């Protein structure tokens, strides 16, 4: 993967940002480096499956720390890696808060995002403890969260949440589904290969004309129908 900063410089960059917003203590580069290094491995895996402008250029996967969509994804991977590896949870929380502060993207370090996802200007997106399938694409202002019974949705592989889309509660989204702008899907099921639109109780679906993975991720040989 072609990086805009070396792993060491990127670690210093993150370590310098944290105390500027949360100045209770400093963060050392040495302490943070192993988490950044592992997060870069996860970032490369995800970005290598996003064959779009700014992610894949001249035959190489690209990560630019000044591309805010890419940096938001990377910060999620850093915070979640710290959490997974039983690192300092206070530091993981600060990484999550840094992501929220810089990008308006609210995803807690304990939330298990899929291995492959794409953020497209995710300002105002709030992703809770849903079950997320691979090849997830999230636009601005989206949310996924629980209903009053604390039940979270399940999203299949190849799901697009367009701007303002909300997926709530005991909801099952099948594979290869497109949730239209400002649509609300709550306590219901969306069959695979569908476009969902509208508001409850009149949320409707129609057959999708495009394949999410082929259209957005372009993963050779991956076909979700």
Q: What is the DSSP annotation of 78-96?
A: HHHHHHHTT--HHHHHHHH
Q: Which of 103, 133, 164 is the last residue of a domain?
A: 103
Instruction: Please give the distance of CA 198 from its chain centroid, rounded to a whole number.
Output: 24
Higher pLDDT, 221 or 212: 212
Q: What is the DSSP annotation of 110-167?
A: TS---SSEEESS-TT-EE-S-EE-SSEEE-TT-EEE--TT----EE-SSEEE-TT-EE
**Euclidean distance between CA atoms 10 and 195, whole angstroms:** 39
In this structure, the answer to whether residues 176 and 201 fall within a common structural domain is yes
pLDDT tier for residue 225 given thresholds of 50, 70 and 90? very low
Q: Which residues lie across from 4 on neighbouring strands?
A: none
pLDDT tier for residue 224 given thresholds of 50, 70 and 90? very low
* Across 183-202, average pLDDT: 97
Q: Which of 103, 135, 156 is the last residue of a domain?
A: 103
* Across 84-111, average pLDDT: 95
What pLDDT, on a 0 to 100 scale, did the predictor assign at position 13? 98
Q: How many separate domains does the chain show? A: 2
| 78 dihedral zone (left: phi>0; alpha: psi -120 to 50; beta) | alpha
* Across 204-214, average pLDDT: 95
Structure tokens at 49: 């499956």
64 is a domain residue: yes
Q: Which residues lie across from 173 on neighbouring strands?
A: 155, 190
In this structure, the answer to whether residues 11 and 72 fall within a common structural domain is yes
* Across 130-157, average pLDDT: 98
CATH of the domain at 139: 2.160.10.10
In this structure, the answer to whether residues 92 and 17 fall within a common structural domain is yes
Of residues 72, 182, 178, the one with CA closest to residue 123: 72
**Euclidean distance between CA atoms 177 and 159, whole angstroms:** 5
* Across 35-52, average pLDDT: 95
The pLDDT of residue 20 is above 60: yes
Reported pTM: 0.94
What pLDDT, on a 0 to 100 scale, did the predictor assign at position 82? 97
With the CA atoms of 138, 143, 146 and 152 taken in that order, what torsion angle do they form, in degrees rounded to the nearest 10? -10
Q: Could you tell me the residue range of the domain that residue 21 belongs to?
A: 2-103
For 125-141, how does the pLDDT look when each residue is reduced to its tens digit (9 = 90+)? 999 999 999 999 999 99
* Across 16-32, average pLDDT: 93
pLDDT tier for residue 222 given thresholds of 50, 70 and 90? very low
Integer-rounded Cα radius of gyration of the chain: 18
What pLDDT, on a 0 to 100 scale, did the predictor assign at position 92? 96
What pLDDT, on a 0 to 100 scale, did the predictor assign at position 219? 60
In this structure, the answer to whether residues 88 and 138 fall within a common structural domain is no
In this structure, the answer to whether residues 15 and 77 fall within a common structural domain is yes
Q: Which of 50, 75, 103 is the last residue of a domain?
A: 103
In this structure, the answer to whether residues 92 and 29 fall within a common structural domain is yes
pLDDT tier for residue 26 given thresholds of 50, 70 and 90? confident
């Amino acid at each position: 993967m072609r990086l805009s900063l070396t792993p060491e410089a990127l670690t210093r960059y993150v370590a310098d940002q944290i105390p500027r917003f949360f100045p209770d203590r400093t963060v050392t580069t040495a302490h943070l480096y192993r988490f950044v290094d592992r997060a870069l491995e996860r970032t490369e895996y995800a970005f290598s499956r996003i064959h779009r402008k700014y992610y894949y250029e001249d035959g190489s996967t690209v990560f630019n720390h000044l591309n805010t969509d890419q940096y938001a994804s990377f910060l999620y991977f850093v915070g979640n890696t710290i959490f997974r590896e039983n690192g300092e949870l206070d530091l993981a929380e600060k990484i999550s808060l840094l992501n929220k502060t810089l990008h308006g993207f609210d995803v807690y370090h304990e939330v298990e995002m899929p291995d492959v996802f794409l953020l497209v200007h995710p300002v105002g997106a709030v992703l809770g403890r849903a079950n997320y399938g691979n090849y997830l694409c999230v636009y601005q202002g989206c949310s996924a969260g629980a209903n009053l019974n604390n039940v979270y949705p399940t999203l299949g592989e190849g799901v697009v949440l367009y701007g303002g889309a909300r997926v709530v509660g005991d909801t099952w989204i099948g594979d290869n589904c497109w949730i239209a702008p400002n649509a609300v899907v709550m306590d219901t099921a969306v069959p695979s290969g569908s476009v969902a639109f509208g508001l409850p109780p009149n949320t409707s679906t129609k057959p999708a004309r495009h394949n999410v993975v082929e259209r957005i991720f372009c993963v050779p040989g991956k076909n979700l129908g």
